Amino acid sequence: MFQNLIHFFVTEGDGEYLLRPAGYAALVILLLLIIFIITLLGKSEKRMNTKQLVFASMALALATITSFIKLASLPFGGSITLFSMFFICFIGYLYGPKIGLTTGIAYGILQLIVDPYIYHPWQLILDYPLAFGALGLSGLFYKSNYGLVKGCIVGILGRYLFHVISGYIFFGSYAPENMNSLIYTLGYNATYIIPELIATVIILCLPPVTLALKEVKRTA
């Protein structure tokens, strides 16, 4: 499969890849295809309605904007952002896992378009559609008490898991001498995922924020 797609990429330097224009075009088409699928396919009562599409689109926009506000960045990808993951988790909390996961995958593709870090095709899959798609696991708790907090914890840790898998497979060789590569990738990804997770949970536990988000859920 990847052999048919590899012409979208060109090697440069130490085995890294850069997207060609055709690669960017393919990702944009894929993103539009995802939106088409979630709005038109499936049983009519389960389709994404206009309000849901608007909220999901707003979440994608806000997540993308805040992802550019980086409080810290790491050399092999990953950064602490201004609560960018929250917006995708919030869509899962509003509408459940189906729309949450789909929005997360779309966000992963959008991140690949605007801020790519590509080392290998499988790494691309793990670090973008799967990792960011996992944020939609927040939807598993959309009917639960304290569902948003639970959902953010599970969704963000789901993203962390995929980055750890990717890091262990593709970047473990960068571990310092005499350090286990799994310990290295666990620590590396924790340095930017965990601080943002903790900050997000703290903000969500503030009573004014909790009340405001509950009102948004009623509106949505």
Q: Where are the domains of the chain?
A: 2-219
Mean per-residue pLDDT for 27-51?
63
Q: Give the distance between the most distant pair of CA atoms in the chain.
A: 57
Amino acid at 137: L
What digits encode the pLDDT tens for the residues 95-131?
Answer: 999 999 999 999 998 898 888 888 888 898 999 999 9
Higher pLDDT, 192 or 37: 192
* Confidence check: pLDDT of 46 > 60: no
pLDDT at position 36 is 65
Band the pLDDT of 41: cuts 50, 70, 90: very low
Band the pLDDT of 12: cuts 50, 70, 90: very low
Higher pLDDT, 1 or 102: 102
Beta strands in the chain (DSSP E): 9-12, 16-19, 70-73, 79-81
* Confidence check: pLDDT of 16 > 60: no
pLDDT at position 148 is 95
Higher pLDDT, 179 or 9: 179
* Confidence check: pLDDT of 6 > 50: no
* Confidence check: pLDDT of 47 > 70: no
* Confidence check: pLDDT of 76 > 90: no
Secondary-structure percent of the chain, ordered helix, strand, coil, rounded to 5: 75, 5, 20
**Which range, of 7-21, 124-138, 198-212, averages the lowest pLDDT?**
7-21
Average pLDDT, the chain: 84
User: What tokens were used for 15?
Assistant: 């085995």
In CATH, the number for domain 2-219 is 1.10.1760.20
* Confidence check: pLDDT of 186 > 50: yes
Secondary structure class of 143 (helix, strand, coil): coil
What is the rounded distance in angstroms from the CA atom of residue 205 to the CA atom of residue 121? 39
Band the pLDDT of 132: cuts 50, 70, 90: very high
